[in-house]
Amino acid sequence: MTSHEDAGLLAPGSAGSPAEAATGDAAFLQAMLDAEAALTRAQAACGLAPEDAARAVTEAADARRFDVRDLALRARSGGNPVIPLVADLTAAVPRTAAEYVHRGATSQDILDTAAMLVAARTLDLVLGDLGRTAEALARTARAHRDTVMPGRTLTQHAVPTTFGLKAAGWRSLVLDARDRLAAVRSTLPAQLGGAAGTLAAFHAWADAGTDDATGPGTGTGTDDAAAPGTGTAAPSRGGDTGLRLAAAYARETGLAEPALPWHTLRTPVADLAGALAFTAGALGKTAADVLTLSRTEIGELGEGSGGGSSAMPHKANPVRAVLVAAAARRAPALAAVLHGSMAAEDERPAGAWHAEWETLRDLLRLVGGATRDAAELAAGLRVHPVAMREHLGLTDGLIVSERLAAALAPRLGRARAKDVLARAAERVRAEGATLADVLAEDPGLAGLRLRELTDPTRCTGSAGPLTDRALDRR
């Protein structure tokens, strides 16, 4: 029997998903190492470190060379895993490269950048699943454009609709989620600010002269230093060292270059949290409808491969929908924690930043699992048009009362038409007669095509054209 610290035993919604692997401890460790290596390469590109040091750090930055559990245990002393990681990475490179590991950075620079790298890699997977979900729902909506079913409001039959329009609505939400996540993905930024967000350490290294560098661009000790006795920064000549380095760092990581260090300006995390929570909710709408419409008493939908029960062999539970619905319930609370962390004091908050790490990982993993399940759900969904058609008749024609009210008003007046229909509905419920038969007894309605007016398949309004419009969206 094997053991694992995070085997996903209580998380079937994300267990085994690509997002689980993309957000695991090994993935975060590799992202931190990628951030460290990118920093050394960026400094080399700016002439602040030797090229061979950048190559050495990049070669050593392989998560397989480090003990994740040992790093986790040692992280307790300093409160974050970057501190022991820097020590181990420094020991893993040649002595000539050791002094360039993590030089000028702070733990938050590395951990925030790593979080954005993990988010970017996970979102690429999520966006792929959303694309597959949208494609499957488009096929379903197109196939059932004119499949009439009861529309339900406040749990009761309202007026007829079509399953094509319902599926097109699900797809619209999926595309909304895709667009939001794609926008966030394109703007995920690297973080580099140094101890307090001023990039001062990099200026100090540049000002130290050319001894520590092998290329042009190093400072001379005057370009970016403070003017003596003034307390204000001297004007930069030949470009600002810190800004050049921040731009190079963003390029090396493949992330966006932020306008400012965002160590306490947590817009990137908040935007990511909001888009992820929206995605979970959007998928949750589909799950909620599938769960309702696949009830035994309704049976209008079914999952392609329902799950079993430990006690009842006959059951085929809508498991994919269940797991997506569970994710939709959890995601808003996780996003709330991340939004709450925006109220961060000073230049590094005590606790607010730390509260983000596991929360963001959980949210990425949760939504990643939900999108996997949603794609499987959409691809395997079984639609039962016969059950939908049968249910249109459960109210013996009352489902079209809105249309009848409009049809009777010109002949009877709005008030009398409403009264006639109300009394007819009472008789339908009490006697089991059809609405058309009851209305046919009223002499004032002679000549009306009551059978046609009470046919629910003729009462779907613009459902078809609305479905077409929704499917035009790519």
Check 186, 305, 309, 462 and give the catalytic one: 309
For the question of residue 65 being annotated catalytic, the response is no
Q: Are 61 and 34 in contact (CB under 8 A)?
A: yes
**Which residues neighbour 446 within 8 Å (Cβ) at sequence distance 6 or greater?**
none
166-195 b/e (C-beta count within 10 Å ≥ 16 → b): bbbbbbbbbbebbebbeebbeebbbbbbbb
Collapsing DSSP to helix, strand or coil, 341 comes out as: coil
- Residue 284 CB-density burial (10 A; 0-12 exposed, 13-18 middle, 19+ buried): buried
Tokens matching residue 459: 């009462």
d(CA 400, CA 463): 15
Beta bridge partners of 256: 189
Phi, psi of 64 (to 5 degrees): -65, -15
Length of the chain: 474
Amino acid at 442: D
Collapsing DSSP to helix, strand or coil, 215 comes out as: coil
Spatial CA neighbour of 88 closest among 103, 112, 67: 67
For the question of residue 103 being annotated catalytic, the response is no
Check 74, 139, 348, 389 and give the catalytic one: 348
Q: In this structure, how many other beta carbons lie within 10 angstroms of the beta carbon of residue 365?
A: 25
- Residue 442 CB-density burial (10 A; 0-12 exposed, 13-18 middle, 19+ buried): middle
Collapsing DSSP to helix, strand or coil, 196 comes out as: coil
Collapsing DSSP to helix, strand or coil, 382 comes out as: strand
H or E, element range at 149: strand 148-153
d(CA 447, CA 240): 87
H helix runs in 395-462, sequence order = 401-412, 414-431, 435-440, 450-453
Phi, psi of 12 (to 5 degrees): -65, -20
Q: In this structure, how many other beta carbons lie within 10 angstroms of the beta carbon of residue 431?
A: 11
CA atoms within 13 A on the CB side of 109: 26
CA torsion, ordered 403, 406, 408, 414, to nearest 10 deg? 140
Residue 79, phi-psi category: left (phi > 0), alpha (psi -120 to 50), beta (remainder): left
Known catalytic residues are 309, 348
